[in-house]
Structure 1
Amino acid sequence: MNKHAWMPVSPCGDGCVDHSTATVGRLRVAWRVVAASTVMLSGAFVVLAVLCLRGPARSALLRHWFRLLVRAFGVRLLVVGPVFQEVRGRGVLVVSNHVSWLDELAIDAVQPIRMVAKRDIRDWPVLGPLITAARTVYLDRERLSLLPGTVAELAAALRDGAAVGIHAEGTTWCGVASGRYRPALFQSALDAGVPVRPVVLRYRQGSATSTRPAFIGSDTLVGSMRRVLRARGLVVEVHVLDEVAPGRASTRRELAALVQQESERVSHGSVGVPAPRWHTAEVA
C-alpha cells in the first residue's frame, strides 16, 4: 500500500540512540526481566478484572498496574502538574510528544485514558491486550480515508466526558529532537468543544536527556525493551501543563501550533518546571 503525504515521518534513526550511558549489571537485568515478565503475565487477570469493573475502581486498578510495570522495567516515574482530567465527566484531549513504547505506560500510570495508537500495537504480546483494555482507539495511518471516522469517534468520546490521548507528532522521535504537531486529530477537540491538555514526556539519566528508550530507526520492540532493562537511573518525567481552553483557537492548525508552543517551553527548557496545582509525585 502506498504511503500518503499526510503520513508522518521522523528523521531520527539508529544513530540517535546513545549507547554509552550508564547501565546496570547482568544480575540486575535478570531481576528486571523476571519482575517485568511477572507483572505482564499478571495482566491477563487485570484484563478480566477491568471487564467487571467500572468508574474509579477500574481506573485505579489500571493505574496501579501500569505503575508497577514501569517500575518493573527499572524506570522511575516523576509526575509534575495536575491530573489530566481535573473535572470529572468533562472531556479533555490530552496531547503529548512521542518517544517510546514506554509513553503509553507512563501516561496510563498517571491516569488511564483512551489513547490513539497505531494499529500494530494491538498485536503486541501481553501489552497489546492491556492497552486495548484501556479502550485504546487504533488508527491506520496508511488509510487516510478512515481519518474522518476516527476524528468523529474521538469527538463523540470527548462529548461523553472521556479523557482521550494523542501523540501529536504522529510518530516517534529520539527525545532530543522533536517533530511538528499534526493538526488532524485536534479537530476532535474543536468539534466537541473541550479543552486540550498539553503533556510533555522527557526521559533522563541523571541530569541529561536519555535517548535509550527511543523506539526509532530499525528498532524492534524486544530490542528497545532490552536497552531500557539495561539502563541505570532511567527516569520518565510526565509534565502536565495548563489546559488550553476552548475558544483560544478557531482552526485545528491554530490549535496544534498553540499546544506545541506551550509544550516546547518545557521540552526545550526555556522555562522552569511549572509549579504544580495538584501534585508533584515521584513513584519509586
Structure 2
Amino acid sequence: MSGSTHAWMPKSPCGPSCVSGPVPRVSWLRGAWRACTALTVLLCGISLVLLAPVLRGRLRGAIRFWFATFLRAIGLRVRVHGDRRIQSTEGRGVLVVTNHVSWLDALVVDAVQPMPMVAKRDIADWPVLGPLVSAAGSVFLDRERLTRLPETIAALTTALRDGVAIGANPEGTTWCGMASGHFKPALFQAALDAGVPVRPVALRYRLADGSHTPAAAFVGDEDLVTSIRRVLRIRHLVVEVHVLPEIAPGRAEDRRALAALAESAVAAALEVPIQRELTGHLVH
C-alpha cells in the first residue's frame, strides 16, 4: 500500500505483525487450484463488462452472482446477519458505510448487493475489477489531493439524491480487524445534503471455529499480491456481514454526530475498541 503524501492522510498502526500469526492453511496444491479457479472467474468478468449494455435490468443480479462466485473460488464464505437487502427501499438513496479491513471488503458487499463505491482512484486501473467498479458508477476519491474532496462530496450527494445506494469506508484506510479506526465525517456530509439514511455494515473475518482472524487484512506497506497469496491459503475463511439498522435522516445534527453514530453501531456489532487518537486525521 502506498505511503502518506500529506499530513492529513489517514493512518493506521496496523502492519505486517498483525497478519503474521499462525492460521490454518490448505495445501499449496489446493491454494494453486483456488488461484486458477479465481483467475477463470476473473476472466469471465471481462464478458460481464462487455455485456453490460445488453443485460440492463439483469445486470445487478449478474454482478452479484459474479462477485459471489469469485469469493467462493478463493475459499471465502459469506454469512449475512440482518436484512439481506442493504438498500431497504428501492429508488431511495442510502450511504452504506463499513469498517475497512481488506481489499475483499468491496467484493463482499457487492456479493450481497451490488452497488457503486467511493473508491481510491487507483482502483480504476485494476485489471477487470477496475472496469467493473467504474461501470457500476463508483465515485473515485483522490486521497492524495484533498483539494478534490469537495468535488467528490458533490458527486456523492448527486448520486444519493438520484436514489443510488453507495458504499464507503469512512475510516479512510485499512485496519486488521482487532480494532477499528475513527470514522471520518467528511463523506457523511453527502448523506446530510441529500437527505438520505446511512446504513452501517460491519464486516468480520473469522475461521470455521468462530475465532477472529486478521489474516485477511490488507494493511501497512504490504503489496496486493502478497495479501492475495495469503488469502488463497487460509482454510475455512468466513466473512460475517452484519447489516445494521439504518440511521434515519434527522437523527444527527451534523456530520460529526452522524459519523459517531455509525462508528458506534459498527464497533458494537464487532465488539472491538475504537482507536480514537491517531496522527494524520483526514479533514473533518
For the residues of structure 2 that align with 1:164 and 1:44, how far apart are their CA atoms? Answer: 23
Structure 2: runs of 5 or more not aligned: 274-284
The residue type equivalent to 2:80 in the other structure is: V
* Change beyond 3 A, Cα 1:212–1:146: same
My pick for the range that moved more, 80-89 or 60-69, is 80-89
Percent identity among equivalent residues? 58
Secondary structure, counterpart of 1:54 in structure 2: helix
1:9 pairs with 4, 11, 16, which one?
A: 11
What corresponds to 2:226 in structure 1? 223
Task: Check if 1:65 corresponds to 2:66.
Answer: yes
2:194 pairs with 185, 192, 197, which one?
A: 192
1:139 pairs with 127, 138, 141, which one?
A: 141
The Cα offsets for residues 33-88 of structure 1, whole Å up to 9 and x where unpaired, read as 11100000101001012233333x11101000000001000000111111111110
For the residues of structure 2 that align with 1:184 and 1:158, how far apart are their CA atoms? Answer: 15
My pick for the range that moved more, 251-260 or 132-141, is 132-141
TM-score for the superposition, normalised by structure 2: 0.91
Contact 2:67/2:108 (<8 A) preserved:
yes
The residue type equivalent to 1:122 in the other structure is: A
Task: Check if 1:74 corresponds to 2:75.
Answer: yes
Task: Check if 1:242 corresponds to 2:249.
Answer: no
The Cα offsets for residues 72-126 of structure 1, whole Å up to 9 and x where unpaired, read as 0000011111111111000000000100010011000000111011111112222
The residue type equivalent to 1:144 in the other structure is: L
What corresponds to 2:279 in structure 1? none
Moved over 4 A (4+): none
Structure 1: runs of 5 or more not aligned: 271-284
The residue type equivalent to 2:67 in the other structure is: F
Secondary structure, counterpart of 2:248 in structure 1: coil
Secondary structure, counterpart of 2:118 in structure 1: strand
What corresponds to 2:204 in structure 1? 202
Task: Check if 1:267 corresponds to 2:270.
Answer: yes
Secondary structure, counterpart of 2:259 in structure 1: helix
Task: Check if 1:23 corresponds to 2:12.
Answer: no
The structural deviation recorded for 1:2 is 7.9
The structural deviation recorded for 1:269 is 6.6
For the residues of structure 1 that align with 2:136 and 2:222, how far apart are their CA atoms? Answer: 25
What corresponds to 1:163 in structure 2? 165
For the residues of structure 2 that align with 1:220 and 1:133, how far apart are their CA atoms? Answer: 25
Contact 1:189/1:195 (<8 A) preserved:
yes
Secondary structure, counterpart of 1:53 in structure 2: helix
TM-score for the superposition, normalised by structure 1: 0.91
